[in-house]
Structure 1
Protein backbone atom coordinates (compact mmCIF):
# COMPACT_ATOMS: atom_id res chain seq x y z
CA UNK A 1 0.00 0.00 0.00
CA UNK A 2 2.93 2.35 -0.48
CA UNK A 3 2.58 5.62 -2.39
CA UNK A 4 4.93 6.16 -5.32
CA UNK A 5 5.44 9.69 -6.67
CA UNK A 6 7.10 10.13 -10.08
CA UNK A 7 7.03 12.27 -13.21
CA UNK A 8 3.86 11.91 -15.27
CA UNK A 9 4.13 9.85 -18.45
CA UNK A 10 2.58 10.85 -21.74
CA UNK A 11 0.21 7.89 -21.88
CA UNK A 12 -1.25 8.97 -18.50
CA UNK A 13 -2.50 12.38 -19.67
CA UNK A 14 -6.03 11.13 -20.42
CA UNK A 15 -6.25 9.66 -16.92
CA UNK A 16 -4.97 12.91 -15.42
CA UNK A 17 -7.62 14.83 -17.35
CA UNK A 18 -10.38 12.50 -16.13
CA UNK A 19 -9.16 12.72 -12.54
CA UNK A 20 -9.03 16.53 -12.69
CA UNK A 21 -12.52 16.88 -14.11
CA UNK A 22 -14.00 14.47 -11.57
CA UNK A 23 -12.55 16.45 -8.65
CA UNK A 24 -15.56 18.71 -8.15
CA UNK A 25 -15.87 22.47 -7.63
CA UNK A 26 -12.59 22.90 -5.73
CA UNK A 27 -10.62 22.46 -8.98
CA UNK A 28 -11.17 24.26 -12.27
CA UNK A 29 -11.85 21.91 -15.19
CA UNK A 30 -9.27 21.24 -17.89
CA UNK A 31 -9.41 20.11 -21.50
CA UNK A 32 -6.99 17.82 -23.32
CA UNK A 33 -5.09 20.70 -24.91
CA UNK A 34 -4.47 22.32 -21.52
CA UNK A 35 -3.23 19.07 -19.97
CA UNK A 36 -0.91 18.64 -22.95
CA UNK A 37 0.33 22.21 -22.49
CA UNK A 38 1.18 21.43 -18.87
CA UNK A 39 2.97 18.25 -19.96
CA UNK A 40 5.05 20.22 -22.46
CA UNK A 41 5.84 23.23 -20.28
CA UNK A 42 5.32 22.66 -16.54
CA UNK A 43 8.51 22.54 -14.53
CA UNK A 44 6.93 20.01 -12.15
CA UNK A 45 4.21 17.55 -13.21
CA UNK A 46 4.16 14.44 -11.07
CA UNK A 47 1.65 11.71 -10.29
CA UNK A 48 1.07 9.65 -7.16
CA UNK A 49 0.37 5.95 -7.56
CA UNK A 50 -1.16 3.76 -4.89
CA UNK A 51 -1.37 0.02 -5.56
CA UNK A 52 -0.09 0.86 -9.08
CA UNK A 53 -3.20 2.97 -9.76
CA UNK A 54 -3.26 6.74 -10.38
CA UNK A 55 -4.25 8.31 -7.07
CA UNK A 56 -3.41 11.98 -7.66
CA UNK A 57 -1.20 14.52 -9.37
CA UNK A 58 0.42 17.90 -8.77
CA UNK A 59 1.46 20.54 -11.32
CA UNK A 60 3.84 23.39 -10.46
CA UNK A 61 5.81 26.14 -12.18
CA UNK A 62 8.52 28.56 -11.14
CA UNK A 63 8.09 32.32 -10.93
CA UNK A 64 10.03 32.78 -14.17
CA UNK A 65 7.40 30.86 -16.12
CA UNK A 66 5.08 32.47 -18.66
CA UNK A 67 2.16 30.68 -16.99
CA UNK A 68 -1.12 32.49 -17.80
CA UNK A 69 -3.09 31.93 -14.57
CA UNK A 70 -4.42 35.11 -12.97
CA UNK A 71 -3.54 33.68 -9.55
CA UNK A 72 0.05 33.11 -10.69
CA UNK A 73 0.21 36.68 -11.98
CA UNK A 74 -1.09 37.95 -8.62
CA UNK A 75 1.83 36.29 -6.85
CA UNK A 76 4.37 37.45 -9.43
CA UNK A 77 3.25 41.07 -9.05
CA UNK A 78 4.06 40.87 -5.33
CA UNK A 79 6.89 38.36 -4.90
CA UNK A 80 10.16 37.97 -6.75
CA UNK A 81 10.98 34.28 -6.49
CA UNK A 82 8.68 31.36 -5.71
CA UNK A 83 7.43 27.95 -6.80
CA UNK A 84 3.72 28.03 -7.69
CA UNK A 85 1.43 25.04 -7.31
CA UNK A 86 -1.16 25.38 -10.05
CA UNK A 87 -3.20 22.41 -8.91
CA UNK A 88 -3.18 19.29 -6.81
CA UNK A 89 -5.85 16.63 -7.31
CA UNK A 90 -6.39 13.47 -5.29
CA UNK A 91 -8.86 10.80 -6.36
CA UNK A 92 -11.94 10.89 -4.11
CA UNK A 93 -11.46 7.27 -2.99
CA UNK A 94 -7.89 8.12 -1.87
CA UNK A 95 -8.57 11.32 0.08
CA UNK A 96 -7.43 11.19 3.67
CA UNK A 97 -4.95 8.41 2.92
CA UNK A 98 -1.76 10.47 2.69
CA UNK A 99 -1.65 10.97 -1.10
CA UNK A 100 -1.93 14.76 -0.87
CA UNK A 101 0.77 14.92 1.80
CA UNK A 102 3.05 12.68 -0.28
CA UNK A 103 2.64 14.97 -3.30
CA UNK A 104 3.25 18.12 -1.25
CA UNK A 105 6.31 16.59 0.44
CA UNK A 106 7.73 15.65 -2.96
CA UNK A 107 6.97 19.09 -4.43
CA UNK A 108 8.63 20.75 -1.45
CA UNK A 109 11.71 18.54 -1.83
CA UNK A 110 11.95 19.76 -5.41
CA UNK A 111 11.15 23.40 -4.71
CA UNK A 112 13.34 24.00 -1.65
CA UNK A 113 16.47 23.36 -3.74
CA UNK A 114 15.47 26.14 -6.16
CA UNK A 115 13.08 28.65 -4.57
CA UNK A 116 12.76 30.47 -1.23
CA UNK A 117 9.00 29.93 -0.98
CA UNK A 118 6.02 28.01 -2.30
CA UNK A 119 2.73 29.61 -3.36
CA UNK A 120 -0.76 28.28 -4.01
CA UNK A 121 -4.39 29.26 -3.58
CA UNK A 122 -7.56 27.76 -2.14
CA UNK A 123 -11.07 28.71 -3.20
CA UNK A 124 -12.96 30.47 -0.42
CA UNK A 125 -16.48 29.84 -1.70
CA UNK A 126 -18.33 26.56 -1.42
CA UNK A 127 -17.11 25.21 1.92
CA UNK A 128 -13.43 24.51 1.33
CA UNK A 129 -12.40 24.63 5.00
CA UNK A 130 -10.76 21.14 4.80
CA UNK A 131 -8.44 22.44 2.05
CA UNK A 132 -7.55 25.51 4.12
CA UNK A 133 -6.91 23.33 7.15
CA UNK A 134 -4.75 20.96 5.11
CA UNK A 135 -2.61 23.80 3.77
CA UNK A 136 -2.36 25.46 7.17
CA UNK A 137 -1.16 22.21 8.72
CA UNK A 138 1.49 22.02 6.01
CA UNK A 139 2.85 25.47 6.92
CA UNK A 140 1.07 27.72 4.39
CA UNK A 141 -0.21 31.12 5.53
CA UNK A 142 -2.59 33.52 3.82
CA UNK A 143 -0.85 36.55 2.28
CA UNK A 144 -3.90 38.06 0.59
CA UNK A 145 -7.09 37.34 -1.35
CA UNK A 146 -7.82 37.53 -5.05
CA UNK A 147 -10.95 37.29 -7.20
CA UNK A 148 -10.19 35.34 -10.37
CA UNK A 149 -11.58 37.51 -13.19
CA UNK A 150 -12.12 34.58 -15.54
CA UNK A 151 -14.52 32.78 -13.17
CA UNK A 152 -15.36 35.29 -10.41
CA UNK A 153 -14.14 33.00 -7.62
CA UNK A 154 -12.46 34.48 -4.53
CA UNK A 155 -9.31 32.68 -3.44
CA UNK A 156 -7.08 32.73 -0.39
CA UNK A 157 -3.52 33.32 -1.59
CA UNK A 158 -1.15 31.17 0.44
CA UNK A 159 2.64 31.08 0.79
CA UNK A 160 5.14 28.98 2.70
CA UNK A 161 8.79 29.84 3.36
CA UNK A 162 11.23 27.06 2.44
CA UNK A 163 13.78 27.13 5.22
CA UNK A 164 16.39 24.97 3.46
CA UNK A 165 16.68 27.24 0.42
CA UNK A 166 19.24 29.73 1.85
CA UNK A 167 21.61 26.91 2.84
CA UNK A 168 21.22 25.14 -0.53
CA UNK A 169 21.79 28.41 -2.38
CA UNK A 170 24.84 29.33 -0.33
CA UNK A 171 26.34 25.84 -0.57
CA UNK A 172 25.58 24.89 -4.19
CA UNK A 173 24.43 28.01 -6.04
CA UNK A 174 23.18 26.89 -9.47
CA UNK A 175 25.41 23.78 -9.46
CA UNK A 176 23.19 21.19 -7.80
CA UNK A 177 24.51 17.61 -7.63
CA UNK A 178 23.63 15.42 -10.63
CA UNK A 179 21.41 12.95 -8.79
CA UNK A 180 18.15 11.40 -9.94
CA UNK A 181 16.13 12.87 -7.06
CA UNK A 182 17.54 16.35 -7.68
CA UNK A 183 17.07 16.60 -11.46
CA UNK A 184 14.28 18.66 -12.97
CA UNK A 185 12.06 17.24 -15.70
CA UNK A 186 14.24 16.77 -18.77
CA UNK A 187 11.43 17.61 -21.21
CA UNK A 188 11.11 21.20 -19.99
CA UNK A 189 13.59 23.92 -20.86
CA UNK A 190 14.97 25.83 -17.90
CA UNK A 191 13.50 29.33 -17.76
CA UNK A 192 15.42 32.33 -16.47
CA UNK A 193 13.99 33.58 -13.18
CA UNK A 194 14.44 36.35 -10.70
CA UNK A 195 16.93 35.76 -7.92
CA UNK A 196 15.68 38.16 -5.25
CA UNK A 197 13.69 36.91 -2.29
CA UNK A 198 11.79 40.02 -1.27
CA UNK A 199 8.30 41.00 -2.32
CA UNK A 200 7.59 44.06 -4.45
Structure 2
Protein backbone atom coordinates (compact mmCIF):
# COMPACT_ATOMS: atom_id res chain seq x y z
CA UNK A 1 0.00 0.00 0.00
CA UNK A 2 1.25 3.47 -0.82
CA UNK A 3 0.84 6.32 1.58
CA UNK A 4 -0.90 9.36 0.25
CA UNK A 5 1.05 12.51 0.68
CA UNK A 6 -0.65 15.77 1.46
CA UNK A 7 -0.16 18.39 -1.22
CA UNK A 8 2.79 20.65 -0.39
CA UNK A 9 2.02 24.03 1.13
CA UNK A 10 2.59 26.86 -1.33
CA UNK A 11 5.56 29.04 -0.42
CA UNK A 12 5.17 32.84 -0.24
CA UNK A 13 5.77 34.24 -3.70
CA UNK A 14 7.89 37.24 -4.58
CA UNK A 15 5.36 39.04 -6.77
CA UNK A 16 8.00 41.10 -8.55
CA UNK A 17 10.13 38.14 -9.58
CA UNK A 18 7.51 35.35 -9.48
CA UNK A 19 9.79 33.26 -7.24
CA UNK A 20 9.07 31.83 -3.78
CA UNK A 21 10.49 33.93 -0.93
CA UNK A 22 13.04 31.95 1.07
CA UNK A 23 11.99 31.46 4.69
CA UNK A 24 14.20 33.52 6.99
CA UNK A 25 15.56 35.77 4.23
CA UNK A 26 15.66 39.55 4.75
CA UNK A 27 12.67 39.90 2.41
CA UNK A 28 10.75 37.22 4.35
CA UNK A 29 11.39 39.04 7.65
CA UNK A 30 10.35 42.41 6.09
CA UNK A 31 7.11 40.89 4.81
CA UNK A 32 6.46 39.17 8.15
CA UNK A 33 6.95 42.44 10.03
CA UNK A 34 4.68 44.24 7.58
CA UNK A 35 1.76 41.85 8.07
CA UNK A 36 -1.20 42.90 10.13
CA UNK A 37 -3.61 40.57 11.85
CA UNK A 38 -7.17 41.13 13.03
CA UNK A 39 -7.43 42.37 16.60
CA UNK A 40 -8.01 39.69 19.21
CA UNK A 41 -9.51 42.16 21.69
CA UNK A 42 -13.01 40.80 21.14
CA UNK A 43 -12.07 37.31 22.34
CA UNK A 44 -9.28 38.00 24.86
CA UNK A 45 -9.96 37.91 28.58
CA UNK A 46 -7.88 40.57 30.36
CA UNK A 47 -7.99 39.98 34.10
CA UNK A 48 -5.63 41.66 36.53
CA UNK A 49 -3.04 39.48 38.21
CA UNK A 50 -5.07 39.40 41.42
CA UNK A 51 -8.21 38.31 39.53
CA UNK A 52 -6.47 35.29 37.98
CA UNK A 53 -7.55 32.62 40.46
CA UNK A 54 -8.61 28.98 40.18
CA UNK A 55 -12.23 30.10 40.61
CA UNK A 56 -11.87 32.64 37.79
CA UNK A 57 -10.45 29.97 35.47
CA UNK A 58 -13.17 27.49 36.40
CA UNK A 59 -15.81 30.10 35.58
CA UNK A 60 -14.20 31.15 32.27
CA UNK A 61 -13.29 27.52 31.35
CA UNK A 62 -10.11 28.28 29.38
CA UNK A 63 -12.27 28.69 26.29
CA UNK A 64 -10.51 31.84 25.05
CA UNK A 65 -6.97 33.23 25.42
CA UNK A 66 -6.13 35.09 28.62
CA UNK A 67 -3.82 38.12 28.68
CA UNK A 68 -2.53 39.52 31.97
CA UNK A 69 -0.94 42.80 30.97
CA UNK A 70 0.89 43.55 34.24
CA UNK A 71 2.73 41.24 36.63
CA UNK A 72 1.37 42.92 39.77
CA UNK A 73 -0.89 40.59 41.73
CA UNK A 74 0.39 37.42 40.05
CA UNK A 75 2.65 36.46 42.94
CA UNK A 76 5.61 36.02 40.65
CA UNK A 77 9.22 37.15 40.84
CA UNK A 78 11.34 38.21 37.86
CA UNK A 79 14.93 39.43 37.55
CA UNK A 80 15.47 43.20 37.21
CA UNK A 81 15.08 44.81 33.74
CA UNK A 82 18.87 45.07 33.51
CA UNK A 83 19.20 41.26 33.58
CA UNK A 84 21.13 40.23 30.46
CA UNK A 85 22.17 37.18 28.47
CA UNK A 86 25.49 37.29 30.33
CA UNK A 87 23.55 37.03 33.61
CA UNK A 88 21.70 33.98 32.26
CA UNK A 89 25.07 32.42 31.42
CA UNK A 90 26.36 33.25 34.94
CA UNK A 91 23.41 31.57 36.70
CA UNK A 92 22.93 28.61 34.34
CA UNK A 93 26.53 27.87 33.35
CA UNK A 94 28.42 28.32 30.09
CA UNK A 95 28.82 24.57 29.60
CA UNK A 96 25.10 23.75 29.65
CA UNK A 97 24.06 22.23 26.32
CA UNK A 98 20.95 23.91 24.92
CA UNK A 99 18.74 23.54 21.88
CA UNK A 100 18.95 26.50 19.52
CA UNK A 101 16.77 27.19 16.50
CA UNK A 102 18.44 28.17 13.23
CA UNK A 103 15.72 30.64 12.30
CA UNK A 104 16.36 30.83 8.57
CA UNK A 105 16.11 27.08 8.14
CA UNK A 106 13.71 26.49 11.08
CA UNK A 107 15.79 23.55 12.26
CA UNK A 108 17.11 22.88 15.77
CA UNK A 109 20.75 22.45 16.65
CA UNK A 110 22.68 21.88 19.89
CA UNK A 111 25.27 24.23 21.31
CA UNK A 112 26.70 25.32 24.65
CA UNK A 113 25.03 28.26 26.34
CA UNK A 114 28.37 30.10 26.53
CA UNK A 115 28.81 29.83 22.75
CA UNK A 116 25.29 31.10 22.19
CA UNK A 117 25.82 34.08 24.54
CA UNK A 118 29.06 34.96 22.73
CA UNK A 119 27.11 34.89 19.45
CA UNK A 120 24.17 36.81 20.98
CA UNK A 121 26.34 39.59 22.44
CA UNK A 122 28.59 39.85 19.39
CA UNK A 123 28.17 42.45 16.66
CA UNK A 124 28.60 40.15 13.64
CA UNK A 125 26.19 37.33 12.93
CA UNK A 126 26.21 35.12 9.86
CA UNK A 127 22.80 33.63 10.75
CA UNK A 128 19.89 34.25 13.08
CA UNK A 129 19.68 31.97 16.13
CA UNK A 130 16.91 31.74 18.69
CA UNK A 131 16.60 29.96 22.06
CA UNK A 132 12.96 29.16 22.79
CA UNK A 133 13.18 26.39 25.36
CA UNK A 134 15.95 26.81 27.93
CA UNK A 135 14.38 25.10 30.96
CA UNK A 136 16.29 26.26 34.04
CA UNK A 137 14.45 24.78 37.05
CA UNK A 138 17.52 22.76 38.01
CA UNK A 139 19.94 25.72 37.89
CA UNK A 140 20.81 28.68 40.15
CA UNK A 141 18.65 30.90 37.91
CA UNK A 142 15.63 29.17 39.44
CA UNK A 143 16.31 31.05 42.69
CA UNK A 144 15.89 34.38 40.88
CA UNK A 145 12.53 33.53 39.25
CA UNK A 146 9.24 32.47 40.82
CA UNK A 147 6.39 31.34 38.57
CA UNK A 148 2.93 32.95 38.95
CA UNK A 149 0.88 31.73 41.91
CA UNK A 150 -1.83 30.32 39.61
CA UNK A 151 0.75 28.24 37.73
CA UNK A 152 2.01 26.74 40.99
CA UNK A 153 -1.55 25.96 42.12
CA UNK A 154 -2.46 24.21 38.85
CA UNK A 155 0.83 22.40 38.21
CA UNK A 156 0.24 18.65 37.99
CA UNK A 157 3.97 18.03 38.37
CA UNK A 158 4.25 20.18 41.51
CA UNK A 159 1.04 18.95 43.15
CA UNK A 160 0.37 15.42 41.91
CA UNK A 161 3.67 13.80 40.92
CA UNK A 162 4.21 10.81 43.21
CA UNK A 163 7.18 11.02 45.57
CA UNK A 164 8.28 7.53 44.62
CA UNK A 165 7.79 7.10 40.90
CA UNK A 166 9.46 4.84 38.35
CA UNK A 167 9.60 7.84 36.04
CA UNK A 168 11.81 10.84 36.60
CA UNK A 169 9.93 13.98 37.59
CA UNK A 170 9.90 16.26 34.52
CA UNK A 171 11.30 19.80 34.64
CA UNK A 172 8.83 21.93 32.70
CA UNK A 173 8.31 24.89 34.99
CA UNK A 174 10.68 27.72 34.10
CA UNK A 175 11.81 28.69 30.61
CA UNK A 176 14.14 31.38 29.32
CA UNK A 177 13.84 32.69 25.75
CA UNK A 178 16.75 34.45 24.00
CA UNK A 179 16.23 35.61 20.44
CA UNK A 180 18.56 37.56 18.19
CA UNK A 181 17.16 40.34 16.03
CA UNK A 182 14.90 39.03 13.23
CA UNK A 183 14.11 35.84 15.17
CA UNK A 184 10.76 34.21 14.63
CA UNK A 185 9.13 30.84 15.05
CA UNK A 186 6.43 29.14 13.08
CA UNK A 187 3.05 28.77 14.79
CA UNK A 188 3.35 25.99 17.35
CA UNK A 189 1.81 24.46 20.46
CA UNK A 190 3.89 25.03 23.58
CA UNK A 191 4.33 22.57 26.42
CA UNK A 192 1.16 22.60 28.45
CA UNK A 193 -0.98 23.30 25.41
CA UNK A 194 -0.40 27.03 24.91
CA UNK A 195 -0.52 28.17 21.28
CA UNK A 196 2.39 30.39 20.44
CA UNK A 197 4.29 32.33 17.88
CA UNK A 198 7.41 34.24 18.83
CA UNK A 199 8.15 37.18 16.49
TM more than 0.5: no
Which protein has greater RCO, CA pairs closer than 8 Å, 6+ apart? 1
Write 1 or 2 for the structure with the bigger share of helix. Answer: 1
Q: TM-score, normalised by structure 1?
A: 0.26
Normalised TM-score (structure 2):
0.26
* Structure that is richer in strand per residue: 1
